[in-house]
Amino acid sequence: MDKIQDKYYSTGSTDKHNYNRNRKYKLGHYNSYHTIEKGKWPKIIKNGVCLVVGSITILVFSNKLIGNYSEQNVTYNIENISNINGTNTIYSVEETSNTTVEESSELTTVDSFSLENRIKNIPQNSQFMIGTKVDTNKLTEFSDTEMGKIFIKYAQQFGIDPYLLIAQAIQETQLNHWDFICGGNKYNGYSVGVCQLENPSGNPITAYDYNCNEYITEYITMDNAQNLDTNIKIATMQMQNKLYDYNGNPYLALQSYNYGTGMIDIALNHYSEEIGQSVENIMQDYQNFGWLKYIYDMHENPSKYLSNWSFNTYGDGEYIKHVLQYFPGTNTYYNYDNKLYEINLNNGEIVKVDIIDNKVK
């Protein structure tokens, strides 16, 4: 079962931790050894295992590696962790090296991303209606399905919160892939599959793969759009691209999935002229939602912005709200600009930023 189990810790002390290379620690529950190597730190690992050395706690959360992590000028790597199978339980390790470890004076707990803890933290009276339509039992069961595991696989590979992607797919198709492909009773001849890939005519999509630490390219063909696995893969790659298009702003990235970058850029330019700030500054201020009024107006009055638009409305003016009502919890996370961001989706607050050691090239 590949559920995200993100019990996430960092040390609060600024003391330097002097680890030797290739020191080994025994994972007591499994009676196996893993190497902690100076120089690398996996961002996401397996099933809620937690390494403890003295009072230094090293996080492990989830299934696969999506990047390396640097903490206080020292970085670490845990090898062969994917061979560990077990329940979502945190275990400690006992030190097998004779080398002494300078202990941290403080341990700071950061927000947990386990599904259970997410659901406990769904905000009340959210401006975006966050979590108001979350079905806890169905979401828990979905994580164990073939489709759920595909979402988790590619979310980890491309550095995005899987439950944000799942919420988006619920809004798009209620997680129904087969009715939205050729021959399906809901296929409109344009948007394809569970993630509604538009007009799959063979265009390339390139994104950074944190498993192999390099850019990879897929092609948005009809075959790939109709295949469940590649449909989700391409949609995840597109979301990574959109985060980069809009300086890591999750709201702009989400809305652009529905409106397209062209219309989002028009809205940003109008708002920029209105308030006398640069588009760049607006994108970087995740707590500035003033541009949304242009999104709403575009939906109601598209001819003001598109001279050749023949329909009375455009897109979904409340797409962000409609996605986030299926999102469990308050905070989300994603990789952007060589950093792991944790964002409070209720108000846009940047809760935490961690540097990723294996920088995007």
Only one residue has tokens 């003001």, namely 304
CA neighbor of 189 nearest in space, from 176, 180, 202, 177: 180
Q: Which amino acid is at 73?
A: N
Q: What are phi and psi of 157, to 5 degrees?
A: -65, -35
The domains of the chain, with CATH numbers, are 1-110 (no CATH), 115-355 (1.10.530)
Residue 108 has pLDDT above 60, yes or no: no
CA neighbor of 62 nearest in space, from 160, 142, 137, 128: 160
Query: In this predicted structure, what is the pLDDT of residue 162?
Result: 96
Only one residue has tokens 């799959």, namely 200
Q: What is the per-residue pLDDT across 134-176, written as a single tens digit (0 to 9) for each?
A: 999 999 999 999 999 999 999 999 999 999 999 999 999 999 9
Lowest model confidence (mean pLDDT) among 10-14, 44-48, 304-308? 10-14
Q: What is the per-residue pLDDT across 308-329, written as a single tens digit (0 to 9) for each?
A: 999 999 999 999 999 999 999 9
CA 150 – CA 171 distance, rounded (Å): 18
Binned at pLDDT 50, 70 and 90, residue 359 comes out as low
What DSSP line would sit under 180-227, residue for residue? GSTT-TT--SSEETTTTEE--SSEEEEEEETTTTEEEEEEE-HHHHHS
Residue 339 has pLDDT above 80, yes or no: yes
107 strand-pairing partners:
11
Query: Taking all residues of the chain, what is their mean pLDDT, rounded to a whole number?
Result: 75
Query: In this predicted structure, what is the pLDDT of residue 159?
Result: 95
Binned at pLDDT 50, 70 and 90, residue 358 comes out as low
Query: In this predicted structure, what is the pLDDT of residue 20?
Result: 31
Strand residue runs (E) in the chain = 8-11, 23-27, 32-36, 51-53, 56-58, 70-71, 74-75, 93-95, 107-110, 191-192, 197-198, 203-209, 214-220, 331-336, 339-344, 350-355
Query: In this predicted structure, what is the pLDDT of residue 138?
Result: 93
- Percentage of residues in the chain with pLDDT exceeding 70? 67
Task: Name the more confident of 261 and 85.
Answer: 261
- Percentage of residues in the chain with pLDDT exceeding 90? 61
* 350: Cβ contacts below 8 Å, ≥ 6 apart: 286, 341, 342, 343, 344
Binned at pLDDT 50, 70 and 90, residue 90 comes out as very low
- Dihedral sign for Cα atoms in the order 211, 212, 213, 215: negative
Query: In this predicted structure, what is the pLDDT of residue 124?
Result: 82
Residue 273 has pLDDT above 90, yes or no: yes
Task: Answer yes or no: are the C-beta atoms of 73 and 355 closer than 8 Å.
Answer: no
What DSSP line would sit under 69-106, residue for residue? BEETTEE--B-SGGG----S----EEE-S----PPPS-
CA neighbor of 55 nearest in space, from 105, 14, 99, 93: 105
Q: What is the per-residue pLDDT across 201-226, written as a single tens digit (0 to 9) for each?
A: 999 999 999 999 999 999 999 999 99
Average pLDDT over residues 33-58: 34
Query: In this predicted structure, what is the pLDDT of residue 163?
Result: 96
Alpha-carbon distances, residue 273 vs 255, 277, 337 (angstroms): 20, 7, 27
Average pLDDT over residues 53-71: 33
CA 142 – CA 3 distance, rounded (Å): 10
Q: Which two tokens stand for residue 8?
A: 């996430």
Binned at pLDDT 50, 70 and 90, residue 361 comes out as low
Query: In this predicted structure, what is the pLDDT of residue 38?
Result: 34
